């Protein structure tokens, strides 16, 4: 992983603060082209924040993030909006536009950014919906979809403009096993079929282990471990072990910091 123009996203020494809270203190990551990279970590460690930094929704207080050779935080508003067409972000909730049908949702990026004819848009939308297996749901409204279906429609919308990079924010949470399997399968298949680069943010260890080519584990504002799923599994670091195997008590304590138990009960 050192051939530098094979890297789509380069994150160098990123610091980020939200209010008084230091969320990142010096993060370095590289996302190679064409791979599925997972960012893992316990809840609240700033995984979603990282996606927002890459999408330039937030600005780091220090350090730089390059997407496809451009420092995304130095772009003008107009350039940024152009650059964002290369990035698809799949929100946890799907974030479909509730006022539009499934078809219109997927057509939205095409209508806004291209001047394609209505016929061509229709074909493209149906193709994208076919890719996620929901061509038959084109006429439904978002309120009529299940959680898994909404996420698949959002995926179809995210790939409508054929982006280079697609980021998934917690794609596995709150799904039944079948829908989960569908999404896991889709992420891998779309990545390989469309030549995408994917970043998956999740804390579902087993699913991520199954599809990721490379994994970064974040905790306490730092990268505490990285490597292929195989090497992560056999790592010796106690923190990493606790997270990967899901042990309730360890380096991360079970108890929230509190006064001595006996002392508080007797008080």
Partner 1 sequence: MIARMQALGEQGLNFCGTFGRAGLFLLATLLRRPRLIRTFPLLVNELYSVGVLSLIIIIVSGLFIGMVLGLQGYNILVDFAASEKLGTLVALSIVRELGPVVAALLFAGRAGSALTAEIGLMKATEQLDSMEMIGVDPLWRIISPRLWAGFIALPLLTLIFSAVAILGGYLVGVQWLGIDGGSFWSNMQATVHFREDVVNGIIKSLVFGFVVVWIAVFQGFDAVPTSAGISRATTKTVVYSSLAILGLDFVLTAMMMGGW
CA of residue 94 relative to chain centroid, distance: 12
DSSP string across 226-248: EE-HHHHHT---HHHHHHHHT-S
Per-residue contact flags (x/-) with partner 1 for residues 159 to 188, judged by CB under 8 A: --x---------------------------
**Coil, helix or strand at residue 69:** coil
Count Cα neighbours of 217 within 13 Å in the Cβ-side half-sphere.
Answer: 24
User: Is position 87 an interface residue for partner 1 (rule: CB under 8 A)?
Assistant: yes
Q: Which stretch binds partner 1 (CB under 8 A): 12-20, 24-32, 83-91, 175-183?
A: 83-91
User: Is position 116 an interface residue for partner 1 (rule: CB under 8 A)?
Assistant: no
Pairwise CA distance, residues 235 & 54, whole Å: 28
CB atoms inside a 10 Å sphere around CB 24: 26
- Please say which residue, 154 or 232, places its beta carbon nearer to partner 1: 154
User: Is position 33 an interface residue for partner 1 (rule: CB under 8 A)?
Assistant: no
User: Is position 73 an interface residue for partner 1 (rule: CB under 8 A)?
Assistant: no
User: Is position 97 an interface residue for partner 1 (rule: CB under 8 A)?
Assistant: yes
User: Is position 146 an interface residue for partner 1 (rule: CB under 8 A)?
Assistant: no
The secondary structure element, H or E, covering residue 216 is: strand 214-219
Burial call 130-161: b when 16+ CB within 10 Å, e when fewer? ebbebbebbeeebeebeebbbbbbbbbbbbbb
User: Is position 96 an interface residue for partner 1 (rule: CB under 8 A)?
Assistant: yes
- Please say which residue, 16 or 214, places its beta carbon nearer to partner 1: 16
Q: Which of residues 53-72 bind partner 1 (CB under 8 A)?
A: 55, 57
- Catalog residues that contact partner 1 under the rule CB under 8 A: 55, 57, 77, 81-82, 84-85, 87-89, 91-93, 95-98, 108-109, 112-113, 154, 157, 161
């Amino acid at each position: 992983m050192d051939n530098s123009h094979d890297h789509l996203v380069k994150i160098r020494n990123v610091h980020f603060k939200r209010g008084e809270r230091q969320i990142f203190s010096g993060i370095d990551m590289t996302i190679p082209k064409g791979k599925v990279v997972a960012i893992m970590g316990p809840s609240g460690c700033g995984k979603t924040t990282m996606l927002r930094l890459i999408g330039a929704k937030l600005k780091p207080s220090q350090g730089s993030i390059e997407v496809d050779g451009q420092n995304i935080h130095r772009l003008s508003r107009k350039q940024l909006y152009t650059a964002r067409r290369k990035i698809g972000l799949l929100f946890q909730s799907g974030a479909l536009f509730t006022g539009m049908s499934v078809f219109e949702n997927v057509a939205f990026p095409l209508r806004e950014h291209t001047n394609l004819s209505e016929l061509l848009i229709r074909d493209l939308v149906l193709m994208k919906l076919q890719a996620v297996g929901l061509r038959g749901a084109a006429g439904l409204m978002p309120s009529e979809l299940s959680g898994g279906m909404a996420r698949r429609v959002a995926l179809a919308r995210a790939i409508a403009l054929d982006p280079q990079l697609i980021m998934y924010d917690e794609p596995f949470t709150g799904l039944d096993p079948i829908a989960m399997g569908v999404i896991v399968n889709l992420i891998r298949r779309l990545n390989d079929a469309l030549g995408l680069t994917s970043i998956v943010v999740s804390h579902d260890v087993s699913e991520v282990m199954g599809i990721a080519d490379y994994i970064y584990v974040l905790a306490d504002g730092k990268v505490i471990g990285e490597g292929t799923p195989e090497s992560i599994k056999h790592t010796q670091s106690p923190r990493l072990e606790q997270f990967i195997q899901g042990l309730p008590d360890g380096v991360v304590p079970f108890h929230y910091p509190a006064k001595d138990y006996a002392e508080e009960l007797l008080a």
